[in-house]
Amino acid sequence: PCNCSSVGSLDFQCNINTGQCNCRPKFSGAKCTECNRGHWSYPHCNPCDCFLPGTDDSTCDLETKKCSCTDKTGQCTCKVNVEGVRCDRCRLGKFGLEAKNPLGCSSCYCFGATTQCSEAKGLIHTWVTLKPEQTILPLVDEALQHTTTRGIIFQHPEIVAHMDLVRQDLHLEPFYWKLPEQFEGKKLMAYGGKLKYTIYFEAREETGFSTYNPQVIIRGGTPSHVRIIIRHMAAPLIGQLTRHEIEMTEKKWKYYGDDPRISRTVTREDFLDVLYDIHYILIKATYGNIMRQSRISEISMEVAEQGRITAMTPPAHLIERCDCPPGYSGLSCEVSWLQLTFSSPTQPA
């Protein structure tokens, strides 16, 4: 006899070679005595109902959008920073559940003042851009020893650098465009947004020694903790307008000066420290070999601020709102009452 389950099988027939019974849609196993993937509690076999963004991908079928769960309790397999039977909420000290995050939620940083936070609501993206009068940007060398505007002109909509003239002032390539002051300073609200720009270059050869230098360099930090972080990307091609949209989260950023074989990924804490006070942002202008011309245009950085969320202005995500203890304020508790009292200038008597 086949011994097929009276609940789980369609009929009591089975394959004479393998003994496999014909199971109903929610059932599986040789005798149809188990729930199939995405169901639990045999013989009821209820759907698991896991929340996909918070569930470990390896337990899910991404085509059917079904995940497996334990048969007795229906518990889904959560990502590291996620909890709940359905994996639908962040663990204590974590916030901002999203599908793209391999950990599910981010850790509350709050500059060490508290571990309690949630995702800030009611924020929209605005853009920091060049002002109409900022028609040219200076070029600097990587160490910011020298700066020049010689040979740099504005040809709407691009800022164009003629390298033979630039090289009369700057001698140590690679050269970088230095973004103006509105891209510097307190930029915690840029977290989770994008830094965008378009570049173009003309050179004798596609690749040169500078191909391997970072494309973006940001220096910043708190008074006691300054960092320089860098971002590498595929080099643009000669004569091709290349648009970059760089996510302002720690994910693909590295530490300046690290041995390329180690090249650690920047921690969330260090990335937020840099955004606490950006000293400068540099975007690479040197590509290829024996370069004639470099251009940059369409520079913008998304920054979140309070605003009305509509179809045209979707909400900004990934910014923490910390439950600050007394003496601290700001979404990330970045303003300390002690700092304010000690650093306020003394009034002349």
Residue 13 scores a pLDDT above 60: yes
Question: Rounded to two decimals, what is the model's pTM?
Answer: 0.86
Per residue in 35-85, pLDDT (tens digit) is 988 999 999 999 999 999 999 999 998 888 889 999 999 999 999 999 999
How much of the chain, in percent, has pLDDT values that exceed 90?
Answer: 83
Q: Mean pLDDT over residues 267-274, rounded?
A: 97
Contact 283, 297 (CB under 8 A): no
* Residues 221, 152 within the same domain: yes
Q: Which of 10-14, 52-56, 70-74, 262-266 has the highest mean pLDDT?
A: 52-56
115 occurs within a structural domain: no
Average of per-residue pLDDT values in the chain? 93
**What per-residue string of b and e applies to 64-88 under the rule 16 or more CB within 10 Å gives b?**
eebbbbeeeebbbbbbebbbbbbbb
Q: Mean pLDDT over residues 145-153, rounded?
A: 97
Residue 284, amino acid: K
* Residues 73, 130 within the same domain: no
Closest CA to 7 of 45, 47, 37: 45
Per residue in 210-241, pLDDT (tens digit) is 778 999 999 999 999 999 999 999 889 999 99
Residue 324 scores a pLDDT above 80: yes
Per residue in 156-200, pLDDT (tens digit) is 999 999 999 999 999 999 999 999 999 999 999 999 999 999 999
Residue 282 scores a pLDDT above 90: yes
195 pairs with which residues across the strands? 246, 301
Q: Which domain holds residue 33?
A: 9-78
243 occurs within a structural domain: yes
160 occurs within a structural domain: yes
Residue 322 scores a pLDDT above 50: yes
Per residue in 92-121, pLDDT (tens digit) is 999 999 999 999 999 999 999 999 999 999
* Predicted confidence band of residue 339 (pLDDT cuts 50, 70, 90): low
Report the domain count for the chain.
2
100 occurs within a structural domain: no
Residue 242, amino acid: T
pLDDT of residue 340: 56
233 occurs within a structural domain: yes
Pull the structure tokens for residue 278: 């950006």
pLDDT of residue 191: 98
* Residues 275, 168 within the same domain: yes
pLDDT of residue 207: 79
* Residues 44, 181 within the same domain: no
**What per-residue string of b and e applies to 118-140 under the rule 16 or more CB within 10 Å gives b?**
ebbeebbbbebebeeeeeebbbb
Contact 65, 74 (CB under 8 A): no
Residue 330 CA to residue 307 CA, distance in Å, equals 17
